[in-house]
Amino acid sequence: MTEPALAVKEPPAPGKMRDALTSLHRRPRVLALVAGLLIGLAQPPFGFIPGLFGYAILLFALERDPGNRPWRGTFFIGWLAGFAYFFVGCFWIAEAFLVDAKTYGWMAPFAATLLPSGIGLFWGLFAMAYRRLRSGRASRFILFAVLFSSFEITRGTILSGFPWDPSGSTWRAGSAMSQMAAFVGVYGLGLITVAIFASPAVVRAREGLRGWWPMLAAAILWAGCFAAGEIRLATTHIGSTSYTVRVVQPNVGQKAKWTVGALDSLLGDYVTLSRAPPAPGHPTPALIIWPEGALPAMFEDVLSADSWTAPILTSFLRDKQAFIMGTSRTDYDAKGRPIYRNSMVAMHQDGGRTYIDGFYDKYKLVPFGEFTPFQDILNPLGMKALTHFDDSFTPGERTKPVTFYTIPKFLPLICYEGIFPSLDMDSYRSSDDPRRPNWILNISNDAWFGPTTGPRQHLNLASYRAIEEGLPMVRSTPTGISVLIDPLGRVVAGSRIDLNARGFVDLTIPGRAERTIYSTSRFGIVILDVIFLLILVPFDTLVLMIRKKPIRSLFRRGYVD
């Protein structure tokens, strides 16, 4: 019996390879999808930095023929890229709906797809704006970056905003490139990043060295930013304070927190870790920190006179010791009606008595997590916030620096608030401005997202607030990652309690860095965007007009007065 001959697949002939590339080059939707995936994989924790050339691929795709309906086709190209990008960056959101799968599990696939679908609309609108304003000049990669940055800022602001994974946060916080956020913020760094990596799309190799100027300019820009970042890392003086804090991480998952008997065991674990003696030679911490939503109960319930928890919470602190924990609580509006808050409460012990010093109420709430937009319409359809009561949280006043008892002035950020640049809109006159906080406290409940990429991304995003403000940051979470960040966005050695680890860490808060340019100008990058647009678009239009018509004919026909 004769064995069948093995089929050997011949490598494609050069002509076929060229045809395949030409076919891909004519399929802008495929290019857009690839671009979005590559840009998404460039973000931490993946860190595939060559993926940033996806911006060049997207620019290239937007200059192909979008089909018979150009505006609809252009929008779809941008939307596809945005959907792919945000699907890679935000797939972990589905994990939150699986914590109580019986009630919310049906929403998980919708969350994983509808969120990137919705945010992708901003990329679609950006694509249309670029098509409307672009010219044939090589400098259009700058227009591409400016418009993209403008829509990034819009995405992070409009309808309460969702600035997750802005293009500037691609660089690992604490790296040389990330230091540019101290000058122009994460949005300004995004403008720089997109301009650098979109430049290859407009290279005209046939024109020789002159045709390569966009990439040469981009390389110079990257080198300048990298050098400036390295100089800042090498020359910034970070002093020390004598103020010590203890961050407690019990490693309890969100689902386990709300099981029967969890309050008893969890409170005991928190107290045990909080009361543990410090390492030999180290002082007793002046402040104990528990994370957002530390206990599965309302604050007024655990401190009520007839509860078994109140005696524990009012006696575990040492004398003169302060305490901050995240909690849900009932408050009342101006008409005396009960409302719910996601809060940070500060307490202290003095002379055997426990005092409540005050609250910070979360300002930026998570849509569908902490409140339901248009709840009168959506609640009857079964879509409600992931709270453990039948209502949404109510936001507090805008975030600003606070001080309680003897705790040095700090900027409070609860969970999701850590991803927003400049929730504190104060512009500080000097490094020693008395209004300027000494540190940032970010308590979070990343237990909602399990061991996915979400907690790692959240850490990177929040660390940019330290860079922008020139302030150290303490992060406290129930399952990780709890950590101390220095004013340059770097993790302080020995301060990290990683994902799914139980324990505590005693930290001495570093000193502040000098006031940053960003903390003085805040959203000056928005003004910079507008200036770029006002200069670049008319300039490109004029150059293109002159190129098509001789200069003398422009004067003769009245184009130039």
Q: Which residues contact 22 (CB under 8 A, 6 or more apart)?
A: none
The alpha carbons of the chain give a radius of gyration, in whole angstroms, of 27
Closest CA to 288 of 341, 250, 231: 250
Cα distance between the two ends of the chain: 91
Active-site hit among 95, 152, 292, 417 = 292
Active site residue 362: yes
DSSP letter at 45 equals T
Q: Which residues contact 110 (CB under 8 A, 6 or more apart)?
A: none
Q: Which residue's entry shows tokens 């340019």?
A: 517
Active site residue 292: yes
Could you tell me where the DSSP H helices lie in 6-107?
14-25, 28-42, 54-62, 70-90, 93-97, 101-104
Q: Residue 23 is encoded by which pair of tokens?
A: 């076919």
Is residue 446 exposed (0-12), middle (13-18) or buried (19+ Cβ within 10 Å)?
Answer: buried
Q: Residue 494 is encoded by which pair of tokens?
A: 């020995």
Active-site hit among 225, 370, 384, 415 = 415
Handedness of CA 417, 421, 424, 430 (dihedral sign): positive
Active-site hit among 257, 362, 364, 384 = 362
DSSP string, 330-393: EEE-TTS-EEEEEEEEEEEEETTEEEEEEEEE-SSPPBTTTB-TTHHHHGGGT---S-SSSS-B
Q: What is the distance between the alpha carbons of residues 176 and 169, in angstroms, rounded to a whole number? A: 12
Closest CA to 478 of 453, 441, 447, 442: 447
Active site residue 3: no
Q: What is the distance between the alpha carbons of residues 538 and 530, in angstroms, rounded to a whole number? A: 13
Which positions are annotated as active-site residues?
292, 362, 415
